[in-house]
Structure 1
Amino acid sequence: APHQGDEVHYLWTDTATPPRMRSTAGTRLPELATLPVPTPGRHRELWTPGPDGPVHTLLSTPDPTTGRRPPLVFLVHGGPADHDRDAYDPEVHSLVASGFAVARVNYRGSTGYGPRWRTAYGAGVGLTQVADLVAVRADLLRRGLARADAIGLWGTSWGGYLALLALGTRPDLWQAGVAVKPVADCAAAYRTGTPALRALDERLFGGTPDAVPERYARSSPLHYAAEVRAPLLVIAATLDAKCPPGQVRSYLDALRQAGAAHESMWLETGHDGYTGAHHVAVLRRAMGFLDQHLRRAPAAHRTPRPSRDGVSGGTGPSGAPGS
């Protein structure tokens, strides 16, 4: 924000530091609310070779307490026209403080790395981005920064879509997944979504679902629902216009028919605009789910017991189990 003369007031942050107000002229500015304890963990960046250039990852790890590597969560950003920044993120803080390592990958399609990177979809919509997540996973294992038996995915919106797609197309690589307000069926989301998102889909896929149905099917998590092996938590919203609830319900039905162990949680909200209570509820549910499947249970004994309808502890909009 510009002020009189040449003074500018601005916010400064990095992954380890919540935002602070500063002035180019050294003016004393009000203090923002601060956290009661220092931000935990260690933070670094990595570059993984890829077909369209190196993939940039922000890696946060808890302070070591034992010689064993902590479980790792890929926190997948949405968009796709967005990117993770070296900036404070409360979800990263919560995960690291709870003993998880966090990888934030700026996969192809992300902003911030030039137009070639933003438009690189050579392997197909979603599948290109999953390939980058898979490549970074392999790189982290090669560097000794992760354990192959304790890696999960957590994404919201387009990030939730990529989490579902990765779980279905590469089911052998992940031990747990959380998808919040995701695209689960590309064609159905197109038909019931907003005009702006329909225009985006037409640009990404090269046409409508009627014109290029095979492209939508190939990139749709629903197409691979029967292949999902890792325990999965799906959190959706009943009033969501961007990732409509109907296509999420179809995906959950497909998981049930396949006998895939999963849970569901429904929020009475739209796509955006969490209340504080909803945000905390999602954070607690997702953190508890990842803790259960990535840390508490040994790899050889981590198969959940589905309930009679194939859902592990899911709740519907009214609180009824099994939605």
Structure 2
Amino acid sequence: MFFDKDNRHIIALSNLQRDKTALVRIDPENPDQPEVIFEHERVDVWWAERTPIRQNLAAVYYVTDKKYSVYLDSIWAAVATDLERLLPGEELYFNAMDDAEEHFIIRTYSDVSPGDFYSYTRSTGKLDFLVNMNPELKAYDLAPMEAISYTARDGTPIQGYLTLPATGPVKNLPVVVMVHGGPLSRDLWGYKPDIQMLASRGYGVLQINYRGSWGYGKGFAQAGFKQWGQLMQDDISDGVDWLVNKGIANPKKIAIYGASYGGYAALAGLTFTPDLYACGISYVGPSNLFTLLENLPAYWEPEKEMMYEMIGHPVEDSALLHAISPAFHANQIKAPLFIAQGANDVRVTEIESEQMVQALRNRGVDVVYMLKENEGHGFRLEENRLEFYKAFCGFLEDNIPAASSRKKP
């Protein structure tokens, strides 16, 4: 990450010889014996910062249900304590500061706001509001995001987030299971425009940090290796069952949606658990793991062996890849499907969507296909994003309609 104040030791994040990533100090002359500065028993350390001029180790961050900060520098600790008093319940970020660490630009963040910016003066404790990131959202009832956990079928605790409509019934709801990409990534607590869009229209949204996700230790991440469509998908299915058993989700009105790996999970959900979902949305998601690995972009060449370790080798694990590739089992899909693809995507190429669409249309299965010639791995142009989300909401309304008359952002 950076050198220590003495300019001799290295401050780093490391999970060598340990399960959870820790913040360590490394002596280059004795690198095999790092000094642990901070560790958390349940999760990885996320990041750390140092003061810009004094070069003191200032703060370390980790994420359980939310982001938490441990301040190691006395000045930053005092500032944070005062800000927590002035801005209770907000996630705080030290966005910028002057060299003297007298004047700070602070950003706040929450599940129902993209955030505010403030100016804070350390000597006086004066806090001045600067700007809200999106003041128009104050006209709407935004839905809070709740951290949840449940037990998977093999006894493993799985964590995630649940967002329910801010008003109206919270039982027997239509639900969208939103699967994060990566898969070596994770969902976090906070403001998400697409989640608020769905909640404002009467949908519950379930996010799951399935095995293979980042942040819960090396073992949890590696438990997802060569488990696409299997253990990783089971964790998602178990989350759906948990939500149905609690009476929150209407079992006849559950959709699965995701982008990239999440798009694969949407296809896998409809393919391998066809009775669980009423419809699915795959956004730049791979359908055939052979062609996915064959068409990896050139800049991923150094990581190809790691991809084989995580997903499977196209020769040595050919039976596995065939078994877990939805394109080879499209005959099992019964529910309507919406696929969105960028023609210029070099990671998940157009063939991934084309072969799935063709296989389904040959069987007469309802599939909506949105192909954008000027997009890559995810839509970036505003007009395409608006068209996608309009079609997305229309697709849900056609297949799992929600009873909502709320004002919609």
2:114 to 8, 18, 23: 18
Quote the Cα distance in structure 2 between the aligned partners of 1:227 and 1:248: 17
2 CA distance for matches of 1:139 and 1:101?
14
Per the alignment, residue 217 of structure 1 pairs with 322
Tell whether the 8 Å contact from 2:176 to 2:204 is kept in structure 1 after alignment.
yes
Q: Based on CA coordinates, which of the two structures has the bigger radius of gyration?
A: 2
Q: Does structure 1 conserve the Cα–Cα contact (< 8 Å) formed by 2:226 and 2:312?
A: no
Aligned-pair CA distance for 1:204: 0.8
Matching of residue 266 in structure 1 with residue 397 in structure 2: no
Moved over 6 A (4+): none
User: Equivalents in 2 of 1:167, 1:67: separation in Å?
Assistant: 25
Give the structure, 1 or 2, with the largest relative contact order (CA under 8 Å, sep 6 or more).
1
Deviation at 1:29, TM superposition (A): 5.4
Q: CA deviation at 1:273?
A: 5.6
1:279 CA drift (Å): 1.2
Matched, 1:251 2:356: yes
Identity of aligned residues (%): 23
Structure 2 residue aligned with 1:41:
143
Check conservation: 1:156, 1:179, Cα contact below 8 A: yes
Instruction: Report how many residues are paired.
Output: 296
Could you tell me how far apart the structure 2 residues matched to 1:293 and 1:287 are? 10
CA distance in 2, matches of 1:156, 1:177: 11
More helix by share: 1
How much is the aligned-residue C-alpha RMSD, in angstroms?
2.2
Tell me the distance in 1 between the aligned counterparts of 2:119 and 2:272: 49
Match of 2:400 among 294, 297, 301: 294
Change (3 A) 1:245 1:105: same
After TM superposition, give the deviation of residue 200 of structure 1 in Å.
4.2
Given that 1:236 and 1:266 are in contact with CA atoms closer than 8 Å, whether structure 2 keeps it comes out as yes
Tell me the equivalent position of 2:257: 154
Hey, what does 1:167 align to over in structure 2?
A: 270
2:145·2:190 contact (CA, 8 Å) conserved in 1? Answer: no
Partner of 1:96: 199
Match of 2:216 among 113, 123, 126: 113
Q: How far apart are residue 123 of structure 1 and its match?
A: 7.3
Structure with the larger strand share? 2
Displacement of 1:294 in angstroms is 0.3
- 1:185-217 Cα deviation digits (max 9, x unpaired): 11011111214274442121343x123211211
Unaligned ranges ≥5, structure 2: 1-94, 404-409
Aligned counterparts of 1:114 and 1:146: Cα–Cα separation in 2 = 30
Deviations 1:245-296 (A, max 9, x none): 0122111111122332211111121114611111111111111101110017
Letter of the structure 2 residue corresponding to residue 255 of structure 1: L
